Amino acid sequence: MERKNPVFTAFVYICALLLAAVILAPLAWLFVMSISPAADLAAKPLRWWPQAADFSRYVQLLSRAENSAGAAFTASLRNSLEVAGMATLAAVVLAVPAGWAVSRTPSVGWSLSMVIATYMLPPVALSVPLYMGLSWLGLLNNVFGLALIYLTILAPFTTWLMKSGFDSIPREIEAAAMIDGAGLFQTWRIITLPLAAPVVATSALFAVLLAWDEFFYALLFTSDQRAKTLTVAIADLAGGRVSDYGLIATAGVLAALPPVLIGLVMQRALISGLTSGGVKG
Amino acid sequence: MSGTWMTTRAWLLMLPLLVIMVAVIGWPLVDTVRLSFTDAQLVGTAGNYVGFDNYTKMLTSSNFTRTLSTTTWFAVVSVAAEMVLGVLAALLLNQEFRGRAVLRGLMILPWALPTVVNATLWRLIYNPEYGALNAALTQLHLIDDYRSWLGEPGTALAALIVADCWKNFPLVALIALAALQAVPRDITAAALVDGAGPFNRFRFVMLPYLAGPLMVALVLRTIEAFKVFDIIWVMTRGGPANSTRSLSILVYQEAFSFQRAGSGASLALIVTLLVTVLAVAYATLVRKTAGSAT
Amino acid sequence: MLKSIGKTLMGAVFVGGLFVPHAFAETTLNALFMAQAAYSEADVRSMTEAFTKANPDIKVNLEFVPYEGLHDKTVLAQGSGGGYDVVLFDVIWPAEYATNKVLVDVSSKITDDMKKGVLPGAWTTVQYDGKYYGMPWILDTKYLFYNKEILEKAGIKAPPKTWEELGQQAKIIQEKGLLKTPIAWSWSQAEAAVCDYTTLVSAYGGDFLKDGKPDFQNGGGLSALKYMVDSYKSGLTNPNSKEFLEEDVRKVFENGDAAFALNWTYMYNMANDPKDSKVAGKVGVVPAPGVAGTSEVSAVNGSMGLGITAVSKHPDEAWKYIEFMTSQATQNQYAKLSLPIWASSYDDPAVTKGQEELIAAAKLGLAAMYPRPTTPKYQQLSTALQQAIQESLLGQTTPEDALKTAAENSGL
C-alpha cells in the first residue's frame, strides 16, 4: 500500500501542516491584533507578536457604562442573541409539524420544495416591500420584526433537516402508539420527538448560525441600539472610521466566539447535518 | 385512516410554515413585481405606472452589463476554486495521519466565522500601509514595495475571491470528506489490487460517490456567490472604480442610496430571474449526474 | 394580525419598562451622529451628558454610524415609527431632505442672536430654498497639513502657497530620500474623494453647475481632476490614497509616513497628541493652497448641521438639545477637534490657546469655503464623480472622458 511509502507519508504530513497553517494563520492574526498595542499594529516592519499583551479592548467593549462604546457593543450582542434565539425557536416549532407532514405524506412534498426554492431569491428582491411593510407594522428597528424575517430564512433549512430526521424513524413505531390510543400530538411527544431529539438539536444549531451570520436585512431594517445586531455593529466599526485596528479585531473575536464554540463542540452533529442534506440531495 | 384525511392533516400541519412564507416572502415578491412597473420613490411618492421603462433602462445601462460580468466572474472563479481546494483537502483528510481528527475539527472554524467578521479580518490583512499581507510578503522578499490590494482593479476582485474561498472551501471539504468515507474499503482495495493508479482510483472509484454531494454544494455555493453582498460591502463597497460592484450592491445603490424603489425593484427581479435560470439548469444537471452515478 | 402581535409584544416590552423606577417623566430622544472626524464619540457623549444633567427629564440615546452610512440610515429610519429625532446631516443633503420631507423647517426657531452670532458661511450648511433646516454644528473644511520635521530636513522654509509648489516641495522630499511618496489624500471611492476634488475645483475657479446643468467637465473642474491624476502618476502622491478614507490619511500622517496631507480640522489636535501620534509637536497646518493668478487659498465646505426629523414626536425637546449642542458655550469647551460656528469664538483666548496655527488657517480657509452643488439628486451626481475620479486615477480613461461620462450620468 502507498501509505507505507515514506515519501508519500512525508507528503501527507507536509500537506496537512500547510492546510492547518492556511486555516489557522488568519484566525491567529485576528486574535493577535486584538491584544496588540496600537503602536505595534502600525509599526513598519510589522510586529508579529505584541511586546506586552493588552486585553484592555475586551474590557472596553464589554463595559456597560451608559452611552459608551461598550454599551453600544453589548447592546448589539444582546440584540443578536435575542433575534437569533427567537427566530431559531420559531423555526424549530414550525419545522416539526411541517417536516413530519412531508415525511409521512410525501404527496405534499412539493410545497416544501417551493419553500426551499425561496433560498434562491436574492434578499434585495424582497427588501423594498419588506421595508415598507415593516414600517407600516411599526416593526422597523425592532428585534421582533427582524426575527420574523429571519424565520423565513431559517425555517426552510430546519424543516428540511427535520424531514430527513423523521424519515429515519420507522412509521411502525408511531403506528403502534396510535393503535394504543395515543393521539397525534401525544405520539409525537412520547415517541417521535425523543427519537428525533438529535435532529432537532442539529437543526436548531444550524438556525442559530444562520441567524447570527445575517447582515443584509439587519443593515436595512435596524438603525440603533434597540435592534442593531452584531454584524452591523462590526461593519460600522470596520467602515474605515476607527483607526484602532485592534478594536475592530476585538469586536471580531467576540462576535466569532459563539458560533465558533458551537462549531467546535457540536462538530460531529453539524457535519452529519451538512452531509445528510448534501448526500441525499 | 383514509388517504384524504392524511393529506388534509398534512396540509394543516404545513399551514403555519406556508402562511409565514407567503406573508414574508410571497407577498413582498409580488409587490416587488408591481413596484418594478412604477417610478415609485423609497420615501414619498407612491409612483405611477411606467410599463417596461425600468426594465429597458436597466438592461441597456452599461452599469448593469459591467456589474453582471463582475458578479459572474466572482461566482465562477470563487466557486471553482472552492470546489477544487475542497476536494483536495478532503482527499488529504481521507488519509490516515496523526492529528487528522484535530485538523478536521479546525476545518469547521472558517465556516463558523461570521461572514462580516471574515470580511473585516481580510480587510485588515489587505490594508495597504499596515496590513499583514504586505508585511509578510515584504519580509519574505516576495515583493519589494507595499501594494494596494483592494485599491487596484486588477487585484481587488481577486483579493475578495481569496477571502471568500478561505471561508467556504472548508465546507466543501467536509461534505466531500463525508462522501469519501462512504466509499467501501473493499472497493478501494480491489482497485489497488487491479493496479489502478491514483488518478484512475479517483476517477472511477471515488468520483461516483463524490459527484452527487459535490453537485449540491456547487449549486448552493453558486447561488450564494451570485447573490453576494456582505463581503463586498465590508471590504470595498464596490470600489475601486466600481470594479468589484456586484449585482446586489447595484440594487442596493439604486433602491436605497438613490431611493428609486421602482427601478431598483426591476433590477432586483432581473437578478432573481438570472439566479433562477442558473438554479434550474443546475438542478437538471444534478438529476443527470445523480442518475449516472448510481 | 401581525400588526396586533407586534403591538402586543411591544406593549409587553413597554409595560416591562414601566416597572423600572423613574425619577422624572422622561422624554427619550434618539440622535444619530457619525463615528468619524470632527467631534469624537467621547466628546459627543460628554456634551450630551452635560445636556441631560441640565435637563433631567430628557434622555438622549446616541447612535454613531460611519459617515458612509449616515445618509442611508437617516433616510431608511424615516419609515420606522420610532426613528431618530435629531440627525446630523452633511452640507450636501438639505436639498434632498427638504424635497423628500426628511427634515422639518425650523426657520421660525432661529433667533436674531443666532443669525448675528454665527458665521455666514456656516448658515449655508443648513439652508435650502431660503429656509433653515437645522443649526450648523460642525464648521469644517479641508486644510493642508504638513510635517514640520520632514520639511525642515528637506530644507524647505515655508509650506506651499500654490498646488504647483506643493508638487515641487514633494519632489524635493522624494529626491532627498526622506519619503517615497510624500502626499496623502483620501481618494477612496467615497464622498471623501469628492471633497478633495472640490477643494481643487475651488482653487482652479471651476464650476460644478451652470444653469442647473453640469459644468465640471470644463475649465476649472477639468483642471482639478488633471492635477489629481498628474500628482498620482508622478509618484509624489501615495498610491494607496485611492483606497484611503480620512482616518487612513490620519493614520499615515501620524505615523510619519506623509509629509503633506489634506484633511479636516480634527486631525490637528489628534496628530499633536503624543499618545497615539508619532509626529506630535511637528504638525503644521495651512489653508489648502491656491493656483497662481486664480486663487490665494482653496477650501471645500465640509460643514454639517443638526436637524429635527419629520417623524420626531418631540420636536421641542429635540430643538432644546440642538440648541445646547450648538451653543457657543458648548462649542468653545470642545473646540479641539472641531471649531465653533460662532464668529466671536475665534478671538476668544480660551478657544485659540494652543492652536493658534489652526485658528490662523481657519480664518483664511473658512472664508474661502466652496460649496458642492445643491441638488436633490446629489447622491447620484456624487457617485458619478467618484467613479470618474477613480477611473482617471487608475488610467482607465482620460480626465476629459471621465468627467463627460459623469456629467451624462449625473442625473441632471
Q: Per-residue pLDDT tens for C148-169?
A: 999 999 999 999 999 999 999 9
The pLDDT of residue B209 is above 90: no
Grid cell locating A91: 423555526
Determine, for residues A223 and C80 on separate chains, whether the beta-carbon distance falls below 8 Å: yes
The pLDDT of residue C170 is above 60: yes
The pLDDT of residue C15 is above 70: no
Query: In angstroms, rounded to a whole number, what is the distance separating the alpha carbons of residues C35 and C197?
Result: 23
pLDDT of residue B292: 55
Determine, for residues C248 and B259 on separate chains, whether the beta-carbon distance falls below 8 Å: no
Determine, for residues C252 and B129 on separate chains, whether the beta-carbon distance falls below 8 Å: yes
**Single-letter code of the amino acid located at A71:** A
Mean pLDDT, all residues of chain A: 87
**Single-letter code of the amino acid located at C94:** P
Do A227 and A143 contact (CB within 8 A), yes or no? Answer: yes
The pLDDT of residue B282 is above 90: no
Mean of the pLDDT values across residues A182-198?
88
B233-260 residues labelled b (16+ CB within 10 A) or e (exposed): bbbbbbbbbbbbbbbbbbbbbbbbbbbb
Residue ranges of the domains in chain A? 1-54, 66-280
Closest CA to C389 of C209, C208, C194: C194
End-to-end CA distance of chain B: 36
Determine, for residues B92 and A19 on separate chains, whether the beta-carbon distance falls below 8 Å: yes
Interchain contact A24–B (C-beta under 8 A): yes
pLDDT > 70 fraction of chain A, expressed in percent and rounded:
92
pLDDT of residue B90: 94
The one-character DSSP state at C264 is -
Which of B99, B114, B127 is opposite residue A212, by nearest beta carbon? B114
Residue that the C-alpha cell 492546510 belongs to: A19
pLDDT of residue A128: 84
ipTM for the complex shown: 0.90
The pLDDT of residue C16 is above 50: no
Determine, for residues B95 and A12 on separate chains, whether the beta-carbon distance falls below 8 Å: yes
Interchain contact B178–A (C-beta under 8 A): yes
**Is C211 exposed, middle or buried (CB count within 10 Å of its CB: 0-12, 13-18, 19+)?**
exposed
Query: In angstroms, rounded to a whole number, what is the distance separating the alpha carbons of residues C378 and C389?
Result: 16
Most A-contacting residue of B11, B17, B96, B202 (CB-CB within 10 A), to test interface: B17
For residue C144, what is the enclosing H or E element?
strand C143-147
**For residue C32, what is the nearest residue in chain A, using CA coordinates?**
A224
pLDDT digits (tens, 9 = 90+) for C136-151: 999 999 999 999 999 9
Q: Rounded to 5 degrees, what are φ and ψ at C342?
A: -90, 125
DSSP string across chain A: -GGG-HHHHHHHHHHHHHHHHHHHHHHHHHHHHHHS-HHHHT-SSPPSS-SS---HHHHHHH---TTSHHHHHHHHHHHHHHHHHHHHHHHHHHHHHHHHHHHH-GGGHHHHHHHHHGGGS-THHHHHHHHHHHHHHT-TT-HHHHHHHHHHHHHHHHHHHHHHHHHTS-HHHHHHHHHTT--HHHHIIIIIHHHHHHHHHHHHHHHHHHHHH--HHHHHH--STTT--HHHHHHHHTTTT---HHHHHHHHHHHHHHHHHHHHHTHHHHHHHHHHHHHH-
Cβ of C205: how many Cβ atoms within 10 Å?
Answer: 18
Which of A44, A131, A137 is opposite residue C3, by nearest beta carbon? A137
Domains along chain C? Answer: 25-140+302-367 (3.40.190.10), 143-300+377-409 (3.40.190.10)
Enumerate helices (H) and strands (E) in chain C, giving the number of each. 18, 14
Mean of the pLDDT values across residues C126-137?
93
Interchain contact A110–B (C-beta under 8 A): no
pLDDT > 90 fraction of chain A, expressed in percent and rounded:
46
SS (H, E, C) B198-212: HHHHHHHHHHHHHHH
Query: Minimum mean pLDDT among A258-262, B189-193, C171-175: which range?
Result: B189-193
Mean of the pLDDT values across residues B244-272?
91
C 72-111: CB under 8 A from B: 72, 75-76, 78-79, 100-102
Interchain contact A235–B (C-beta under 8 A): yes
Determine, for residues C391 and B148 on separate chains, whether the beta-carbon distance falls below 8 Å: no
B contacts of A9 (beta carbons < 8 Å)? 97
pLDDT digits (tens, 9 = 90+) for C233-290: 999 999 999 999 998 999 999 999 999 999 999 999 999 999 888 999 999 999 999 9
How many CA atoms lie less than 13 Å away from C397 in the CB half-sphere? 15
User: How many beta-carbon pairs below 8 A join chains B and C?
Assistant: 73
Q: How confident is the model at residue B201 (pLDDT cuts 50, 70, 90)?
A: confident
Q: How confident is the model at residue A88 (pLDDT cuts 50, 70, 90)?
A: very high
pLDDT > 90 fraction of chain C, expressed in percent and rounded:
72
Q: How confident is the model at residue C22 (pLDDT cuts 50, 70, 90)?
A: very low
How many CA atoms lie less than 13 Å away from C341 in the CB half-sphere? 30
The pLDDT of residue C330 is above 70: yes
Q: How confident is the model at residue C68 (pLDDT cuts 50, 70, 90)?
A: confident
Question: pTM score, two decimals?
Answer: 0.89
The pLDDT of residue A148 is above 80: yes
| Chains interfacing with C (3 or more CB pairs < 8 Å) | A, B
Determine, for residues A236 and C64 on separate chains, whether the beta-carbon distance falls below 8 Å: yes
Interchain contact C286–A (C-beta under 8 A): no
The pLDDT of residue C306 is above 90: yes
For residue C306, what is the enclosing H or E element?
strand C304-308
Residue ranges of the domains in chain B? 48-293
β C86-90/C304-308 pair status: antiparallel
User: Where does C206-282 show beta strands of DSSP type E?
Assistant: 209-210, 213-214, 260-263
Which of A69, A137, A141 is opposite residue C2, by nearest beta carbon? A137
B contacts of A124 (beta carbons < 8 Å)? 229, 248, 251-252, 255, 264, 268, 271
**Single-letter code of the amino acid located at A235:** A
B interface residues, C as partner, C-beta within 8 Å: 23, 41-44, 128-130, 145-146, 148, 150-153, 237-242, 253, 256-259
pLDDT digits (tens, 9 = 90+) for B38-90: 998 877 667 789 989 999 998 988 889 999 999 999 999 999 999 999 999 99
pLDDT of residue C205: 94
The pLDDT of residue A240 is above 80: no
The pLDDT of residue C388 is above 90: yes
Query: Minimum mean pLDDT among B79-93, C3-17, C39-53: which range?
Result: C3-17
Query: In angstroms, rounded to a whole number, what is the distance separating the alpha carbons of residues B78 and A124?
Result: 21
- Distance of CA B20 to CAs A148, A279, B248, C122, Å? 9, 29, 25, 51
Determine, for residues A120 and B268 on separate chains, whether the beta-carbon distance falls below 8 Å: no
Q: Rounded to 5 degrees, what are φ and ψ at A274?
A: -55, -45
Mean pLDDT, all residues of chain C: 89
pLDDT digits (tens, 9 = 90+) for A51-71: 888 899 999 888 877 667 788
Integer-rounded Cα radius of gyration of chain B: 24
pLDDT of residue C191: 92
pLDDT > 70 fraction of chain B, expressed in percent and rounded:
97
Residue that the C-alpha cell 433667533 belongs to: C111
B 42-81: CB under 8 A from A: 42
Q: How confident is the model at residue C1 (pLDDT cuts 50, 70, 90)?
A: very low
Grid cell locating A52: 506586552
Mean of the pLDDT values across residues B171-188?
86
pLDDT of residue C354: 87
User: How many beta-carbon pairs below 8 A join chains A and C?
Assistant: 100
Mean of the pLDDT values across residues A35-49?
85
CATH number 1.10.3720.10 is the correct assignment for the domain at B48-293: yes
Determine, for residues B239 and C78 on separate chains, whether the beta-carbon distance falls below 8 Å: no
Architecture of the domain whose range is A66-280: Orthogonal Bundle (1.10)
